[in-house]
Chains A and B, each alone.
Chain A
Amino acid sequence: MTTEHEEAAFLSALLDGELEGPERVRLQKHLSSCPSCSLELEALRKVKMVLAKAPKKSMPLEWTQTFPQALTAAASPRKTSSRARVFSQSWLIPALVAAAVSFAVSFWIFQSRENFPLRHSLSLNAVSAPSTTVSPLNPGSSQTQDNTP
């Protein structure tokens, strides 16, 4: 089978101008006396013609943009450290700042709520509220001391 194919393949080689010397002479001589091989050669020629005449595609113009970008993308990760890559993310730094500010504000509000009533009561005690003490002599009663002059 292989041998037959290789011999038949000389028809295509002849068609493509790839057959020279005694092989070419022998095949041409055979073709002049063999209608079926001549017919086969004509069929091959038509196939070749159809392919040669088929429309062709040009490469899309996108390549002028995508190719340099791809080169840059392929080259840069090897040079930048993982730390640099983290900080090269444009959204990361603003996000961290926003998180820090939000935490600070929350903490301040929390502290304010905790401290304000305490300070308020202390100041009332210190300024106007009468202090209440329990007399050791009379534990059941309380005595109010007026600090005001």
Chain B
Amino acid sequence: MIERKEELLDPKRFQDDAARSFRQVEFVALLKNNGDKVYNFAWRLAGNEQDAWDLFQETLMKAYSHFESYDQSRPFDSWLFKILQNVYLDERRRNSRKTVASLDAPSPISGKPWEEILSGTDLNPLERLSKEENADLVQKALAGLPPLYRSAVILCDMEGLSYDAIAEVMDCPLGTVRSRVHQARLLLKKAFEDLSDTLSPDKQLQ
């Protein structure tokens, strides 16, 4: 009991506890302002709510444990995006049962080669899709992208990050970002066309 009292009155311990509490408050405040964007990124990357929630929680824990290394002059959301993406890629590497799309792997769309997908020019289904938002189709189309392409296009078109910011998040040169965003859009265009074609006529987007 005496030891416990001494422990509580220890100034070093008190300082540590106070610093920890302050850090938690600061982290939670930053998270309140940026959490939705980060969770949305997790959802779009993971493809479903359960995996998104797991990914989000793991990201928060990792971010908090490295919070001291966060540079306050940089955007907090970009910092979290970067951690989340690393967690996501690590998880995919660990879990070999999940298929990781790659340009070396077979094409995800109707058995067509990547070259054929990339050269598609038909606009009509895409025009139909753009008139009515269809979250399910978007999610399915995104799921067919290689992970790095998916990250790049989500960060660019859904989260509104600049190429510079994406390059920082993805830890790659600016030219690579430009290429990934472009390739992702070409793949998505074709995927939207194919997915829209598979809908029954009464469900097709008008």
Where the two chains meet, the residues of A that have a C-beta atom closer than 8 Å to any C-beta of B are 5-6, 8-13, 16, 18, 36, 39-40, 42-44, 46-60, 63, 66-68, 70-71, 74-75
| B61 & A54 in contact (Cβ 8 Å cutoff) | no
Question: Which label, helix, strand, loop or mixed, suits the secondary structure of the A interface?
Answer: helix
Q: Among B37-45, B70-78, B92-100, B105-113, which stretch is in contact with chain A? A: B37-45
CA distance A43 to B24 in the complex (A): 46
Q: Are A47 and B35 in contact (CB under 8 A)?
A: no
| Contact indicator B123/A6 (Cβ below 8 Å) | no
Chain B residues whose CB sits within 8 angstroms of the CB of A12 once the complex forms: 178, 181-182, 185
Out of B43, B57, B154, B178, name the residue touching A57 (CB < 8 Å).
Answer: B43
What is the minimal beta-carbon distance from B186 to any residue of chain A, in angstroms?
8
Q: Are A13 and B178 in contact (CB under 8 A)?
A: yes
14 pairs from A and B in contact (CB 8 Å cutoff) = A6-B178, A9-B178, A12-B178, A13-B182, A48-B157, A48-B185, A50-B126, A51-B138, A51-B154, A51-B158, A55-B133, A60-B53, A67-B60, A70-B61
The dominant DSSP class at the B interface is helix
B 130-162 binary contact with A (CB < 8 Å = 1; else 0): 100101001000000000000001101110001
Q: How many Å lie between the Cα of A66 and that of B31 in the bound state? A: 14
Question: Known contacts A16-B163, A53-B133; is A42 also within 8 Å of B123 by CB?
Answer: yes
How many whole Å from B135's CB to the nearest CB in chain A? 5
The answer for the CA separation of A95 and B27 in the assembled complex, in Å, is 41
